Amino acid sequence: MKKKKLVLSFPEKIVTKPLTYKLVKEFDLEFNILRAEITPDVEGKMLIELRGDDEQINRAIEYLENNKVSVQEAGKDIIIDRESCVDCGECTSVCITGALSLDKKSKKLVFDRDECILCELCIDSCPLKAIKVKM
């Protein structure tokens, strides 16, 4: 099973159309909404993770694009500078998904990239600026 994080941009004319439910119903995909900013009759942006067969994911992307949804692979990534990080755990207090945690035994910072929703709250919380976004 393949996983793909995508950023969907919905133009104002289609922001209220129920397009994403078809990802499950017609393309047999699992999807998780990681982040969403939707304003009816204005625009919408959504970060989703799709899971399923590669062919089905590609067909679903084609379906979305045919319905005027802009689809981009999530190009951002959180990077932790292990040279600068002192494992203080400040970032773990703002990480809403638990992607950042301290290992109970070693007391070292652990980053689970699959849980990260790229909210970037951790960046400002790091007193040493050891967390950055890679584009």
Q: What is the C-alpha end-to-end distance of the chain, expressed in Å?
A: 26
Distance CA 4, CA 31 (A): 10
Distance CA 121, CA 38 (A): 20
Residue whose pair of structure tokens reads 């950023």 in the numeric block: 7
Q: Which domains does the chain have, with CATH numbers?
A: 2-73 (3.30.70.260), 77-134 (3.30.70.20)
Q: Are 126 and 42 in contact (CB under 8 A)?
A: no
**pLDDT band per the 50, 70, 90 thresholds, residue 65:** very high
- pLDDT of 75 strictly over 70: no
- pLDDT of 122 strictly over 80: yes
Which tokens sit at 128?
A: 């040493």
Confidence (pTM): 0.66
Give pLDDT, residue 53.
92
Q: Which is more confidently placed, 87 or 47?
A: 87
Q: Which is more confidently placed, 14 or 3?
A: 3
